Amino acid sequence: MLLRRATAWIILLMLLVWPAAGRADDRVRIVAAEGLTWHLAAAELVVLGEVVVEYRDFSLSCTQLVVNTEKQILAAGGGIVFRQGDEEISAAFLRYDFATETAHFEQAFVVLEHEDLAGEAFLTGTELIRKDGNTFVTQAGLTGCDLPVPHYQLQAAEIEYYPDERIVIRRVSYYEGRRKLFTLPVVVISLKESNWETPKIGHNPEDGWYIKTTYNYFRNPAWLGSLFVDYYQLRGWGLGFRHQYELSSVLPATGWLYWYAKQNGWEGQPLSYHAAIQVTPELAPGYTGELQGEYRLSHYRERTNEEWGLTTRLAWQQAAERVSLSYQALDKNPAELFTGSVYQQELITLAYENLPRPDLRYALSTNFTTRQRVGLPPEEPSKFIQGWVSQTLPAYTLNVKAEHKYNPLVASDEQKPAWQSYTLLPEVRLTTRRLQFGRTTLPVTATVSASRIHEQPGDHTLMRAGGQLNLTGISRRIGAQAMLTTTGSLTGNYYDTNHAQVQANARTSLSYAPSTNSRWMLTHNWTGRLGISPLTYDLARPTHNLEARVDYLRGNWRTYLAGGYNLLTSRPEDLTAEAVYRHSRQLYSSLQFGYALADAAWRYAKFSAAYLPDERHQLKTGLSYDFTQEIWREASLELTQSLSPLWKLETQIQWDGSYGGRLVKGRVGLTRDWHCRRYQISLDLVRQELWFELLFDLFPNERLRLGATDNAFLVDVELPEGVLAR
């Protein structure tokens, strides 16, 4: 017996055992630290002690394991830790079906982390089932407090989690400690992008008091929607609905039908509508298709806006070839558009692509467009055809492209077009890799092109030949303390009208570090463009200047001095300097100034200081003066002061000296930590409002705010985006 157990332990320690789910490449690996028993008649493997199981992308550790190799069932107990990716689940019992890839946990505990959460959230459940990528939890609890009895908690009878779609929580209750405050029958959290309003209560002079509520109904994943009931004290009721119906149950396709209708709160206005449909049919192998339609009708005061759109796509792909055909149509209400705006448009596009080899690509596309504009006669269809060939070789990439355009323009006479543009525009472009000279690779790439271009409507076309050299960068060390770096480019174009254009730019920097405490840098910049003809659009003003900067670091001091000289105007540019001094590990100050050498006048001066001993004690201040306008430009103060382990004082003040001086920001707040939550009392000095705010540490962007001014009371409730309840 001892020999049999030791032999089996050694075999399983090295490698295991059977292919799961009928796939020979999906092996299950089990490592046992103590011993095991193999029941041949029952086809069961029993392992006791520390056990580690690895399968595909998850691992499991436990102290008790039973595996039935015929039924492909794994049962585990005792200190279960299930890891998959970044997720970790602890449980008292686990049953895993390899055939259906279903995991069934009992007494589960999960630590949740998400980019929208400021910390960790803790999920518990009597049962947790994961199947087909979805998760179902019964008798669940969710909190951001890690105490045995949380300060606050959400408890739900059921949670259904569908990744990238929604979370459905049934019979959810909110608890403060052990006291239940309220219960909601269903809460639905949408995980898709949505622009619909979240529940909100507030007050403003335009609407008066208002409440916006959204009630979700959920029958099944193929039938769901929402009802809207909004009320504005000064505008009246706003009503609406939203419904989505999956079409896969009635069509050999996937897709959805969506309706939305809502009254916007203005008394006497009819409903606004929005309907959309999307269908993706199941076609023969190699074919894909899609149909999208949309209709909108909206009313705003006495204006009506109506529009619809339609898009269809059909594609065929086999091996390296692909053909696609699409049709788009758009129709808007011309009465609501300006003269010349497009209110009707149709676009047909046909495209072909072939990749016979990884380095070779052929493509051809064509489209026909018809447009109708407000206040103008009908237009003739415009046509566009483009074809290109691209080949990538080790030394260069060659592109050959041709465009064929036809653009009509309708004059006041509806019988004839004023002009027609009917042109063929070919182009050949060759782009090299970094050039080789013998066995040396140069930091230079080159581009050569030739093409016909169409400059202006009604004008003749031009032939253009162009070339470009790019200096990707040359760095050369001069001794042990200096470095020279150069980059630049040279571009030239020649036209068949005997016109030419040349443009170049170059940047050279010399860096010198005489010691570890200092660095000197001198930079030369030059940019120029020259038109070898009287064509004014080819002429550009060049730039040519020198820049110098000196950095110095010694002890607690860090300083720099920077300036420049314009070689075209022979005038010095502004001089800037900054000195930073660290008085201690918690305190530092800085002084910065600007000086105009050409005018021999000061520009500005800035002073800042910061005292940062820890997160609960911080002080930042700044002050700047504008010598040109002779005003104090800005003054600021930020203070965070801990008054006790639970209370904290925060002050933010910013003053702008422009236009006679004004207070830009002014806030004084008193905050108390309240067991995973905080409440704040703050005074807004700019808006002259007093606010009381309740915030949860786990959800930093959601809060409840109550405010008051001299003559109004303010309420603002911000719930998580997409959280809707009924």
Q: What is the pLDDT of residue 115?
A: 62
Judge contact between 458 and 445, C-beta under 8 A: no
Q: Check the CA dihedral 218-219-225-229 and report its sign.
A: negative
Confidence category of residue 602, pLDDT binned at 50, 70, 90: very high
pLDDT, average across residues 262-290: 78
Confidence category of residue 13, pLDDT binned at 50, 70, 90: very low
Q: Check the CA dihedral 79-81-82-87 and report its sign.
A: positive
Q: Which residue has the tokens 């800037």?
A: 576
Burial of 335-367, coded b for 16+ CB within 10 Å and e otherwise, reads ebeeeeeebebbbebebeeeeeeeeebbbbeeb
Q: How far apart are CA 723 and CA 166, in angstroms?
A: 10
Report which of residues 93 and 39 the model is more confident about: 93
Q: Among 220-229, 346-355, 364-373, which stretch is predicted with the lowest mean pLDDT?
A: 220-229
DSSP readout, 395-459?
SEEEEEEEEEEEEEEE-SSTTSEEEEEEEEEEEEEEEESS-EETTEEPSEEEEEEEEEEE-STTS
Q: What is the pLDDT of residue 623?
A: 96
Q: How far apart are CA 642 and CA 618, in angstroms?
A: 9
Q: What is the pLDDT of residue 264?
A: 60
SS3 494: strand
CA angle at 109 for the pair 106 and 115, rounded to the nearest 5°: 140
Q: What percent of the chain has pLDDT over 90?
A: 25
Confidence category of residue 217, pLDDT binned at 50, 70, 90: low
Judge contact between 483 and 475, C-beta under 8 A: yes
Lookup: tokens for 683: 């005074």
pLDDT, average across residues 146-157: 80
Phi, psi angles (nearest 5°) of residue 644: -160, 175
pLDDT, average across residues 603-626: 93
Q: How far apart are CA 316 and CA 295, in angstroms?
A: 29
Judge contact between 288 and 279, C-beta under 8 A: no
User: Dihedral, CA atoms, 534, 536, 539, 540, nearest 10 degrees?
Assistant: 160
pLDDT, average across residues 641-648: 86
Q: What is the pLDDT of residue 268?
A: 61
Specify the pairing of strand 223-232 against strand 208-220.
antiparallel
Specify the pairing of strand 342-357 against strand 321-332.
antiparallel
Phi, psi angles (nearest 5°) of residue 3: -65, -40
Q: Which of 149, 129, 147 is nearest to 139 (CA)?
A: 129
Q: Helices (DSSP H) in 67-130: which residue ranges? A: none
**Res 532 pLDDT > 80:** no
Confidence category of residue 723, pLDDT binned at 50, 70, 90: very low
Lookup: tokens for 508: 């050279």
pLDDT, average across residues 33-48: 77
**Res 652 pLDDT > 90:** yes
Q: What is the pLDDT of residue 14?
A: 30
Q: Check the CA dihedral 56-57-63-66 and report its sign.
A: negative
**Res 533 pLDDT > 60:** yes
**CB neighbours (10 Å) of residue 185?**
10
Phi, psi angles (nearest 5°) of residue 422: -135, 90
Phi, psi angles (nearest 5°) of residue 570: 55, 40
Judge contact between 632 and 623, C-beta under 8 A: yes
pLDDT tens for 537-556 read 555 678 899 999 999 999 89
**CATH superfamily membership of 2-112:** Lipopolysaccharide (LPS) transport protein A like domain (2.60.450.10)
Q: How far apart are CA 690 and CA 709, in angstroms?
A: 7
> Among the ranges 46-50, 58-62, 160-164, 325-329, which has the highest mean pLDDT value?
325-329
**Res 131 pLDDT > 70:** yes
Phi, psi angles (nearest 5°) of residue 166: -165, 165
Report which of residues 213 and 456 the model is more confident about: 213
Q: What is the pLDDT of residue 4?
A: 33
Q: What percent of the chain has pLDDT over 70?
A: 78
**Res 216 pLDDT > 90:** no
> Among the ranges 271-280, 397-406, 626-635, which has the highest mean pLDDT value?
626-635
pLDDT tens for 85-121 read 777 888 999 999 888 888 999 999 888 776 656 667 7
Q: What is the pLDDT of residue 10?
A: 32
**CB neighbours (10 Å) of residue 25?**
5
**Res 527 pLDDT > 60:** yes
For the chain, domain boundaries: 2-112
Q: What is the pLDDT of residue 98?
A: 85
Strand positions, DSSP E, 165-247 = 166-176, 179-190, 200-204, 208-220, 223-232, 236-246
| Residue 167 CA to its chain's centroid (Å) | 22
pLDDT, average across residues 475-486: 90
Q: What is the pLDDT of residue 725?
A: 34
CA angle at 189 for the pair 188 and 194, rounded to the nearest 5°: 115
Confidence category of residue 189, pLDDT binned at 50, 70, 90: low
Residues in the chain: 726
Q: Among 11-20, 143-152, 328-337, 642-651, which stretch is predicted with the lowest mean pLDDT?
A: 11-20
Which residues on neighbouring strands pair with residue 274, listed in sequence order? 260, 296
Q: What is the pLDDT of residue 483?
A: 93
Specify the pairing of strand 575-582 against strand 587-596.
antiparallel
Q: Among 43-57, 276-290, 293-307, 654-668, which stretch is predicted with the lowest mean pLDDT?
A: 293-307
Q: What is the pLDDT of residue 531?
A: 75
Q: What is the pLDDT of residue 699?
A: 60
Q: How far apart are CA 643 and CA 700, in angstroms?
A: 22
pLDDT, average across residues 387-392: 90
**Res 653 pLDDT > 90:** yes
The reported pTM is: 0.51
Q: Among 194-198, 219-223, 270-274, 285-289, which stretch is predicted with the lowest mean pLDDT?
A: 194-198
Q: Which of 581, 575, 583 is nearest to 605 (CA)?
A: 575
| Residues of the chain by 3-state class (helix, strand, coil), percent to 5 | 5, 70, 25
Q: What is the pLDDT of residue 280?
A: 85
Contacts 24+ apart (CB under 8 A), 601-610: 601/627, 601/628, 602/627, 603/574, 603/627, 603/628, 604/628, 604/633
pLDDT tens for 301-346 read 667 788 889 999 999 998 889 999 999 998 887 776 777 788 888 9
Judge contact between 452 and 426, C-beta under 8 A: yes
Lookup: tokens for 434: 């970094």
CA angle at 261 for the pair 255 and 262, rounded to the nearest 5°: 145
Which residues on neighbouring strands pair with residue 650, listed in sequence order? 640, 669
Q: How far apart are CA 515 and CA 92, in angstroms?
A: 64
| Residue 379 CA to its chain's centroid (Å) | 40
Confidence category of residue 719, pLDDT binned at 50, 70, 90: very low
Phi, psi angles (nearest 5°) of residue 537: -75, -10
Report which of residues 351 and 86 the model is more confident about: 351
**Res 508 pLDDT > 80:** yes
Q: What is the pLDDT of residue 218?
A: 65
pLDDT, average across residues 579-595: 93
Q: For 285, how many CA atoms within 13 A lie in the half-sphere containing its CB?
A: 2
SS3 585: coil
pLDDT mean across residues, the chain:
79
